[in-house]
Chain A
Amino acid sequence: MGSRLRSFVRTLFGWRAVEREMHDEWQFHLEARAADLIAAGRSPADAACQARREFGDQSRWSEDVRTVRGLRWIDDARRDLASAARQMRRAPWLTAAVVGTLALAIGASTAIFSVADAVLLQPLPYRAPGDLVMIWSDDTREGRPEYPMSPGNFFAYRQRARLVQSVEAMYSFLNASIWQDGGAERITTSGVTAGMFSLLGHPPLRGRLPHPGEHDVVVLSEGFWTRRYGRDAQVIGRRLVMDAQPVEIVGVMPAAFEFPFQGMLGPSGFVTGTKADAWLVLGETTASARLVDARGQPVRGQHFLSVVARRAPGATLAQIGAEADAIAADLERAYPTENRGLAATVHSLHDEAVGAARGPLYLLLASVGVVLLIACGNVGNLLFARAVARQREFAVRGALGAHGLRLLQQRLVESLGLAAISGVLGAAVSVGAVRVLLALAPSELPRLGHVTLRGSVLLFAVAVSLACGLATGLMPALLAARANLHDALKDGGRGSAGRPRARLRTAVVAGEIALAVVLTLGAGVLLRSFVAVLRVDPGFRADGLLTLQVTIPSRVTTPAARLALYRDLFSRLEGVPGVVSVGGTTRLPLGSGGVTTRVTLSGQVDEASSRAEVEFRRALHDYFPAMGIPVLRGRGFTEADGLPGAEPVVVVNEAMARRYWAGNEAVGQRVRMGTDPSAVSSRVVGVVGNVHHTGLDQPAAPELYISYLQNPPVAPFLAIRTNADPAALSGPVRAALRAVDDDLAVYDMRTMGEVRAASMAARVFMVTLGVLFGVVAVVLAAVGIYSVMSLSVQERAQEVGIRRALGAGPAEIVRLVTGQAARIGAAGTAAGLLLFALVAPALRAEVYGVQPLDPVTLVAVPLLLLGVALSGSVAPMVAALRVDPVTTLRQD
């Protein structure tokens, strides 16, 4: 065995040397024999001749030796490659068509795969990331399976859970202000417990990780360290003030360490699509961190922690879930007020981080795979057409004794050679395609920074190219192998396909049309739902609006001083020419995440354990008129609400009025915010229209507004309505704001149209690619039907000629050709419709406002494809009409 392997390997890698040695050896033999013959009295010339004769046919011996070594195929392959290269040069246009089609399809698939690979398949930047899980409260009464945990419950899990180790927690993203060197800056932070970093296990870039039990320390991200401190290593150990709390910088995490991902924040993530600038370590026993109250007791009434843990060796997610449920049941018995209806949810951290991207990316991968299949079908048909033309060559070789497998190999070498060239070009195409994808990709798609042509991606490209080569080569090869030798030779080499093979060829094209139908239907549904989203009334008037965010200077600390600043700000903005009205809010619709507040409502039973939670914003100045949000009942806020001793009032949206006071008038009801039962309640003075806050395709949630006059914010969004072009307003608005206060920070200035467009980026991404793939599929299917019909007309020229000679008019010929095209098109379309009905459920999560089996699309797309099938047969039909009966009949 060993010797065989050695000899095999030796021949495989050193076949040139082996070949040379063989001929050296024979040369020695021939010369020795000739010398002996000369010694026996022959003349030198005669002796050499005789020696060669006695030796026998050298080419036969060398083939035998190669066969013995099990490597004849390498030799054959070399010959086949040379022959394939000749074939390619002989038909440059065909070669270009094949290579071009395959290269584009391979490039597109590779590009999509490289995104899917980076987002879904690459391990997260933590130690043994597959063992990390997230534990949530499951609020069964409000239907929120991923409800953040209260600190009290978090401590209980950490103490009691046996199937997980190192249970740690984080706050969702927070905006924090840091003051240092005289300047203030808003940064995005995430609060974490001290053990979080060792749980995640990613080494720091500089400095160290927080020790267990440590608090009031901060770890910077590499991005923030670079941006703010110019990568100065001296910042380690420096102290700074973060939201009025002194903290010490202990380390810097490298850019590769991404935490938390947006998906890990649960439903009340504060900021969308943002990375943490810094991680603040929470003191678990200090009241300032809000985990324990002033008496050191765990906080049980507020739910704001996302909990991460590492599973114990051997524990499954289901077991951990069961244990968490058992602990939740105990906690519900022990604290019935705070924990009523709270079960537990356990998911893998990977699912939380990137799970939301899985559906869309798999959908894109499947779509591009279908495009690839159609391309392969076309190329297979093209190669098959050529195989038919060369049928006689193969038949003759078969008759001369060439082995069937040997002929199969020759065809495979040819198609694999074409696929290899296409693969290399495809890899180049994918480099460009990835750039386009990244430019198109929505920012909420996680891990986009990881997209590169790494090894796994190249492996994918190689595998896809190989599969294409095999698929496109096997089809003609198998058909040719089955070819009837006798018929082929008798046929006079005209190269007709014969019935069964013509049937397979049309089946391939019908299959292409079926796949194109599936893709186009999918794209059509995506497009229709995109239009449906565009038509959604956001609940405000998006045109003529300029938005921006401001942070008021840190020296303005008292509410009275802030109000004075806002009064000045609004009067100056109202003075800008073209401005109609000005308002502001703490959460801009479609432009920022939500924030919720717990409320207790009058007229509600079970007040103590209620976890009614509604979206919460402040309205500044003329917010409702500026945004164009209608006041449906009651009133909006007025200046009078800001008078000393004024009654606390709130305005609710219609969704909230319906949800909590269905049937009763909301105006006049009372609402208490927060969890403190002794807090003052506010009166509902008005009901405003619903606003789609988190996305146009998301239902409007119950919302509660309070007036900025009753507790002014520090970093609100402003909305400025104009009757002119809002973009042109940016200069004058900046000038007006500078006039208010030089230290007023102004950022993120966008028109509401831009804000709305950005909120639809994910949908635009899907629709663009879906429609692109759909169009490519249709074009490829049209090319497919064209090539098959042309071939068919060529083959049937004689039949057409006879029909013409027998008096058939052009109309009959047209019927003959288009009839065939229509049959193929109809069969393909029918198959495509059935196929789409099977895969449509997978689309459900991606569509809005239409059903996956949308009637309009279901009618339009088949008609389109039938049209394509017929248009693909126009040129062949013209060719058929030009057939001259006399010429064709004379041919034999």
Chain B
Amino acid sequence: MTTPTDVLQGTLDLLILKAISLGPLHGYGVLLRLQQMSGDRLQIQQGSLYPALARLEHQGLVLAEWGESDNKRRAKFYRLSAKGKKQLQAELKYWDGLVEAMALVLKAAPGDV
């Protein structure tokens, strides 16, 4: 088992958008899905999800409504808005570009330069 990694500053929003792009989730659900998708390798301070969710809702990227959880409890569910879908695509593209560039720099051998 690998050591959990702290979520990189500024990437939590992207992770949340990705997590709920796969289907509406409540806050705890977002946490579970992120842990599951990362193979428990991401360390997330659980409460910090909520300011991030509030920010995304405030920006109109996610929509929230109250519904019923699997165990018949009232829970607030988040889903992606049309604007959120666009934002997710843009961020994914940006992320891919960033990763590519980072990889090029970090993997460069002495002979490459």
Q: Does A58 contact B (CB under 8 A)?
A: yes
Q: By the criterion CB–CB under 8 Å, are B28 and A65 in contact?
A: no
- Knowing A25-B27, A54-B46 are in contact, say whether A4-B58 is a contact too (CB < 8 A): yes
Q: Does A69 contact B (CB under 8 A)?
A: yes
Grouping DSSP codes into helix (H, G, I), strand (E, B) and loop, the A interface class, with mixed when no group exceeds half, is helix
Closest chain-A Cβ to B28's Cβ sits at a distance in Å of 5
Cβ 8 A contact of A68, one of B45, B58, B73, B74: B58
Q: Does B93 contact A (CB under 8 A)?
A: no
Q: By the criterion CB–CB under 8 Å, are B46 and A29 in contact?
A: yes
Q: By the criterion CB–CB under 8 Å, are A33 and B51 in contact?
A: no
Q: By the criterion CB–CB under 8 Å, are B50 and A4 in contact?
A: no
- Alpha-carbon distance A585/B55, docked complex (angstroms): 88
Q: By the criterion CB–CB under 8 Å, are B73 and A28 in contact?
A: yes
Interface size on B, residues (CB 8 A): 23
Q: Does B69 contact A (CB under 8 A)?
A: yes
Q: Render A297-340 as a binary contact track against B, CB cut-off 8 A, 1 for contact.
A: 00000000000000000000000000000000000000000000
Interface size on A, residues (CB 8 A): 28
Q: By the criterion CB–CB under 8 Å, are A28 and B69 in contact?
A: yes
Q: Does B59 contact A (CB under 8 A)?
A: yes
Q: Render A677-708 as a binary contact track against B, CB cut-off 8 A, 1 for contact.
A: 00000000000000000000000000000000
Which of the listed residues A4, A56, A67, A68 has the most CB atoms from chain B within 10 Å of its own CB? Answer: A68
Closest chain-B Cβ to A472's Cβ sits at a distance in Å of 35
Chain A minimum-CB-distance residue to B62:
A3
User: Using a CB-CB cutoff of 8 Å, which residues 38-57 of chain B contact chain A?
Assistant: 45-48, 50-51, 54-55, 57
Give chain B residues whose Cβ lies under 8 Å from the Cβ of A22: 50
Q: Does B26 contact A (CB under 8 A)?
A: yes
Q: By the criterion CB–CB under 8 Å, are A69 and B58 in contact?
A: yes
Q: By the criterion CB–CB under 8 Å, are B47 and A21 in contact?
A: no
Give chain A residues whose Cβ lies under 8 Å from the Cβ of B74: 24, 28
Chain A minimum-CB-distance residue to B83:
A3
Q: Does A892 contact B (CB under 8 A)?
A: no
Give chain B residues whose Cβ lies under 8 Å from the Cβ of A55: 46-47
Give chain B residues whose Cβ lies under 8 Å from the Cβ of A57: 47
Give chain A residues whose Cβ lies under 8 Å from the Cβ of B46: 29, 33, 54-56
- Alpha-carbon distance A188/B15, docked complex (angstroms): 87
Closest chain-A Cβ to B51's Cβ sits at a distance in Å of 4
Closest chain-A Cβ to B20's Cβ sits at a distance in Å of 15
- Alpha-carbon distance A55/B50, docked complex (angstroms): 10
Q: Does B12 contact A (CB under 8 A)?
A: no
Q: Does A229 contact B (CB under 8 A)?
A: no
Q: Does B97 contact A (CB under 8 A)?
A: no
Q: By the criterion CB–CB under 8 Å, are B58 and A61 in contact?
A: no
Q: Does A725 contact B (CB under 8 A)?
A: no
Q: Does B33 contact A (CB under 8 A)?
A: no
User: Using a CB-CB cutoff of 8 Å, which residues 28-54 of chain A contact chain B?
Assistant: 28-29, 31-33, 35, 54
Q: Render B7-45 as a binary contact track against A, CB cut-off 8 A, 1 for contact.
A: 000000000000000000011100100000000000001
Q: Does A26 contact B (CB under 8 A)?
A: yes
Q: Does B76 contact A (CB under 8 A)?
A: yes
21 contacts between A and B (CB under 8 A): A3-B58, A7-B58, A21-B66, A22-B50, A25-B75, A25-B76, A26-B47, A28-B73, A28-B75, A28-B76, A33-B46, A54-B46, A56-B45, A56-B48, A61-B50, A64-B48, A65-B51, A67-B51, A68-B55, A68-B58, A69-B58
Interface positions of B (Cβ within 8 A of A): 26-28, 31, 45-48, 50-51, 54-55, 57-60, 66, 69, 71, 73-76
Question: Closest 4 interchain pairs by CB?
Answer: A3-B60, A64-B51, A56-B47, A61-B47
